[in-house]
Chain A
Amino acid sequence: MESVNVEVTPLPGIGVRKDFALDNGRRVGVVTHRDGKIELIVSKSDDPDACLASLPLTSDEAGALANLLGAPQLVAQLTEEHREVPGINTKQMTIKSGTPYDGRTLGDTAMRTRTGVSVVAVMRAGQVHPSPAPEFTFTAGDVLVVVGTAEGLEAAVKILHHG
């Protein structure tokens, strides 16, 4: 994986700016305020010093965005690793609010016993929780990275949605 050079710039009295340059020269990053507020920043194409957008995000929104960006990459990486093993797939699944396992543990799902798949990681608020234990409690917005056979994965999606 190519490493990205994140630039950290203090903004006295306001907070910190963390950003990096994309291949096409534009900058993407966040401004973190001292009180914890986060703004997503994207530079303009014709004026790299200025920002096209400066979007305030709540911590939940920032976490959700981080999951969206991070999970597919983790899935792609695992798929790549399992390529040699035929019949094994990797899939991401989201715990939606109000579904049966929102607020319950991984052990409650009995996922391994019922479908043979394993939950290899949970993405929450941009953080990866690898190999979650049976007592890991899910909450709405969690993105599960699940490995198993195609049929097993299909069954797992149904379990998460309908119990």
Chain B
Amino acid sequence: MEHTALSLIQLGAVFFTLGVLGRLAGKIGLSPIPLYLLGGLAFGEGGLIPLGDIDAFTDLASEIGVVLLLLLLGLEYSAAELFTGLRRSWMAGLLDAVLNAAPGVAVALLLGWGPIGAFVLGGITYISSSGIVAKVLGDLGRLGNRETPVVLSILVFEDLIMALYLPILTAVLGGISFLGGLEAVGISLAVITVVLVVALKYGRYVSAIVDSEDREVFLLKIFGAALLVAGLASAMQVSAAVGAFLLGIAVSGSTAINATRLLEPLRDLFAAVFFVVFGLNTDPRSIPPVLGWAVVLAVATTATKIVTGWWAARRAGIGRLGRARAGAALVARGEFSIVIAGLAVAAGAVEGELAALATAYVLLMAITGPIAARVVEPLVRLAQRGMTGLARGAEGVS
């Protein structure tokens, strides 16, 4: 068969299968991310159906997927929201970072993956999936709850940390020395500050440049701008993803809302390719040996996220049930853990096992997260009833 025909057939089969998987996920109330990963594992090398003719498309498409994931994340927030979020939640945010990166760092060091592996795995276990969390909060009707702003501002803080973490990661993976790493931190800090200030003061000019009445023109301009900024950022060693994120923050107001509406379908398409490509590049046979560690990490970091949420909600004066809800809401990990793992694997600076561990871990956490958010309330109520029951029993005896 002709090469183009074969590529089209393979690509079509991949997208169609993803569509079916996504529908399945929606039916059982799950995030589609774990199913996309499984899809990638099934198609890839060592999987059920090896595919070989679509690399040219999928490699670039998965890069675009990362850019769009971060661009839309940036579009969600205005610079003002980031600043208030930072002021209000930096203590909870720091606790979140320390508690949740620690298990990843510890496991990586135990497995002998060195400081770079530790830096990568710490990032993977730290970052919650704001996509999954926001969707679960909406689905469960918790947007009006009093603990929800606490959860959201922790997510905002995490996303800002990502803007710092990704450039450092890019530098470290590029084999730059400690001093070079410091330089990367300096540059990215400076760039982020400048962008935030520009976004806060002159956001409407940035919006005016990309805005257009015409849908088609607007789509081309915003998509073009995103790729340009991402490419330039990448050339400056600040990481393409962060460039897109900062552009998203700078675009504000109604332009941001319209851009989100236009780009969402594109993001879904390219991000799906990104997850599949990550799955494709992971040999499913390498997962069973690391599955034990993935479970250990899953249990440990479920606990640490719950502690984080509990502590932050208690500081905001929320009751016990609300604290438990805040903690459980944060458990889900997803797209950004895979973005971090993807960068590390692409740079070839870490063991192949790390990709397998990251895949297994995200599979577990993307499924556990929404379930934890759902069952936490009945569980805590049950526990409270048990406690009062015990207390009454004890009184009866005495």
- A-to-B contact residues, CB < 8 Å: 9-14, 17, 19, 27, 29, 31, 34-35, 39, 41, 43, 47-51, 53-54
Contacts and interface: CB of A to CB of B under 8 A. Distances in A.
A49 B152 CA distance: 15
A49 B257 contact: no
Given A13-B156, A34-B257, A39 B143 contact: yes
B152 A35 contact: no
Given A47-B319, A49-B318, A11 B145 contact: no
A125 B319 CA distance: 36
A29 B152 contact: no
Nearest to A53: B141
Given A12-B81, A12-B85, A19 B152 contact: no
B251 to A, nearest CB: 13
A14 B134 contact: yes
Contacts of A43: 144
Interface in B299-342: 318-319, 321-322, 325
B155 interface: yes
Most buried by B among A13, A31, A39, A41: A13
Interface string B73-84: 000110001101
Contacts of B325: 49-50
A11 B148 contact: yes
Most buried by A among B77, B141, B144: B144
A35 B257 contact: yes
Given A11-B148, A12-B152, A35-B257, 18 more contacts: A10-B149, A11-B149, A12-B77, A12-B84, A12-B85, A12-B156, A13-B77, A13-B130, A14-B152, A43-B144, A47-B321, A48-B319, A49-B319, A49-B322, A50-B142, A50-B322, A54-B141, A54-B144
Given A49-B321, A50-B321, A14 B143 contact: yes
B146 interface: yes
Nearest to B81: A12
B100 interface: no
Contacts of A19: 144
Given A19-B144, A49-B145, A53-B141, A12 B153 contact: yes
Interface string B189-208: 00000000000000000000
A105 to B, nearest CB: 33
Residues of B in contact with A, size category:
20 to 34
Contacts of B257: 34-35
A48 B152 contact: no
Contacts of B145: 49-51
Contact of B149 (A9, A34, A35): A9
Nearest to B157: A12
Contacts of A27: 146
Contact of B84 (A10, A39, A48): A10
B143 A31 contact: yes
Contacts of B84: 10, 12
Interface string B121-156: 000000000100010001001111111110011011
Q: Which 9 A-B pairs have the closest CB atoms?
A: A41-B144, A49-B322, A54-B141, A13-B76, A49-B146, A51-B144, A12-B81, A12-B156, A31-B143
B265 to A, nearest CB: 16
A132 B84 CA distance: 42
A14 B136 CA distance: 13
B152 A51 contact: no
Nearest to B326: A49
Contacts of B144: 17, 19, 29, 31, 39, 41, 43, 51, 54
A11 B143 contact: yes
B141 A51 contact: yes
Contacts of B142: 50-51, 54
